[in-house]
Amino acid sequence: MRRSAVWHPFTQHGLDAPATAISGGDGAWLETANGTRILDAISSWWVITHGHRHPAIVAAVRDQLDKLDQVIFAGFTHEPAERLAEKLIERAPAGLTHVFYSDSGSTSVEVALKMALGYWRNIGAARTRIAALEHGYHGDTIGTMSAGSRGVFNAAYAPLLFDVVRIPFPFAGQEQATFDALDAAGRNGDLAAFIAEPLIAGAGGMLMYSPAALAEMKRICDRHGALFIADEVMTGWGRTGTLFACEQAAVAPDILCTAKGLTGGSLPLAATLASERIFDAHVSTDRARTLFHSSSFTANPVCCAAALANLGIWDTEPVADRVRKLGEMQEAALRALTDPRFENPRRLGTITAVDLKVADEGYLAAVGLKLRAHSLSHGVLLRPLGNTIYVMPPYGITEAELALIYDAIRSAPDAVA
Ligand SMILES: *Cc1c(COP(=O)(O)O)cnc(C)c1O
């Protein structure tokens, strides 16, 4: 076969197995070009919520393509974007009144940071510092890498990254250190915003923390007048058991980022939701106060139609029930992993994770690769984060399908030993 011309994301072409060619998707399954079925245990990188090719989303996309494919979104608007914005505001935590569209989780966070800086500048306050949680991940653009935790993934780009105030992660029992650090950052008076993934740091290793800690971090931000940005790019759309994770802490963020599951995972679309005062601070007769951001495909009508179909599915199908049932099945499957080589079993909503004990930390990358190959040989798509194995399936997955995933996990320690 001809060598591929494609340069894949987060792929070491000198080590990783050649990419598996996928030609179909249905429910929780992917199908390879030669007809092998693979169970999508990570929702195709955390995006697919209702399963692949949900008929309502497919129909909405077809329908929209027959009407309007794309239009400039400055000076023009369209019904799918208008309706979607209204519906997002209805469903999102209270106080968010305006929706800015973009096309990926990273851009939704970039926009959030720009909104925050623009807000303080426009009201004439000298606040430019950003605080962020350790182990945080907010995307792979320069700004979002700056807010994310530092490591091998961004070391080469460090000269381009801006400084943020790093707040210790609120691990259970260690929350006070988090609160103290955030309080100290707030007392400086220059804190523009604090950004966090609510309740779970995804790419950071599926690290979980309590709703009480989230609520307290928000209170500290409020006390010091700093904006709270909720990065719900992964946590949104039911993943953590509620539509948005913030709901579990009754937290109303000043800015909320959503992407991944916004279209049910079918098409790229993101939104940054902002409170009234943030929007108002950008409304002026002075053009210099504009939110200077756009991407070519802002609010693409087909993507908006897919997102509206996703919301329709939440309205008309028992999605909340599916989420609850999946959480219960996940809990039972996790508890049945009794091999002592699995550590720190944990679950939040539909997501489970365990850490595989490894003797040599430097061996992590090799273990990750072996785990991936092992699960794929069992017909299951898993993509461990180092030695952390996690399961984040689409909601419609059956108990029998879930059992296949855990069979692959159960046999993993021996396979990679
Ligand atoms: C995936 C992710 C992002 C980045 O989203 P992309 O669509 O990949 O750019 C940002 N924040 C969080 C919490 C994520 O999980």
Distance 417 CA to ligand 1 centre (A): 32
Q: Has domain 319-393+407-417 been given CATH number 3.90.1150.10?
A: yes
Distance 111 CA to ligand 1 centre (A): 13
Q: For ligand 1, say whether the CB of 197 is within 6 Å of any of its atoms.
A: yes
The reported pLDDT for the residue numbered 215 is 98
The parts of the chain modelled with pLDDT lower than 70 are 1-2, 360-365
Distance between CA atoms of residues 373 and 177, nearest Å: 39
Phi and psi angles of residue 312, each rounded to the nearest 5 degrees, phi first: -60, -40
The residue whose CB lies within 8 Å of the most ligand 1 atoms, and thus the one to mutate among 46, 48, 102, 106, is 106
How many CB atoms within 10 Å of residue 383?
17
The reported pLDDT for the residue numbered 1 is 52
Residue located via tokens 């008076």: 189
Q: For ligand 1, say whether the CB of 263 is within 6 Å of any of its atoms.
A: no
Distance 259 CA to ligand 1 centre (A): 8
This prediction has a pTM of: 0.98
Handedness of CA 149, 147, 188, 221 (dihedral sign): negative
pLDDT, tens only, 366-399: 788 899 999 999 999 999 999 999 999 999 999 9
**Ligand 1 atom nearest to CA at 106:** 9
Q: For ligand 1, say whether the CB of 234 is within 6 Å of any of its atoms.
A: yes
Burial of 84 (0-12, 13-18, 19+ CB in 10 A): buried
**Ligand 1 atom nearest to CA at 232:** 13
**Ligand 1 atom nearest to CA at 107:** 9
Sequence spans of domains, the chain? 58-316, 319-393+407-417
Distance 328 CA to ligand 1 centre (A): 26
User: 29 CB contacts (<8 Å, ≥6 apart)?
Assistant: 37, 38, 39, 40, 52
Distance between CA atoms of residues 55 and 44, nearest Å: 18
Distance 38 CA to ligand 1 centre (A): 24
Distance between CA atoms of residues 38 and 26, nearest Å: 10
pLDDT, tens only, 210-228: 999 999 999 999 999 999 9
Output the six-digit token pair for 347: 């679950």
Kindly provide the b/e burial profile for residues 280-293, where b requires at least 16 CB atoms within 10 angstroms of the residue's own CB: ebbeeeeeeeebee
Q: Which of 117, 162, 167, 170 is nearest to 144 (CA)?
A: 162
The reported pLDDT for the residue numbered 196 is 98
The reported pLDDT for the residue numbered 319 is 98
Distance between CA atoms of residues 265 and 407, nearest Å: 26
Question: Which protein residue has the closest C-alpha to ligand 1 atom 5?
Answer: 105
Where does 6-125 show beta strands of DSSP type E?
A: 22-26, 29-32, 37-40, 96-102
DSSP state of 195: E
Output the six-digit token pair for 356: 């595989």
**Ligand 1 atom nearest to CA at 144:** 10
Residue located via tokens 């000269």: 159
Q: For ligand 1, say whether the CB of 245 is within 6 Å of any of its atoms.
A: no
Q: For ligand 1, say whether the CB of 109 is within 6 Å of any of its atoms.
A: yes
How many CB atoms within 10 Å of residue 123?
13
The reported pLDDT for the residue numbered 366 is 79
The reported pLDDT for the residue numbered 417 is 83
Q: For ligand 1, say whether the CB of 232 is within 6 Å of any of its atoms.
A: no
Distance 55 CA to ligand 1 centre (A): 26
Distance between CA atoms of residues 181 and 232, nearest Å: 23
Q: For ligand 1, say whether the CB of 104 is within 6 Å of any of its atoms.
A: yes
Phi and psi angles of residue 378, each rounded to the nearest 5 degrees, phi first: -95, 10
Distance 128 CA to ligand 1 centre (A): 23
Q: For ligand 1, say whether the CB of 137 is within 6 Å of any of its atoms.
A: yes
Distance between CA atoms of residues 201 and 222, nearest Å: 22
Distance between CA atoms of residues 397 and 39, nearest Å: 10
What dihedral do alpha carbons 262, 265, 270, 273 form, nearest 10°?
20
The reported pLDDT for the residue numbered 368 is 85
The residue whose CB lies within 8 Å of the most ligand 1 atoms, and thus the one to mutate among 138, 200, 206, 239, is 138
Distance 1 CA to ligand 1 centre (A): 33
Distance between CA atoms of residues 240 and 197, nearest Å: 12
Architecture of domain 58-316: 3-Layer(aba) Sandwich (3.40)
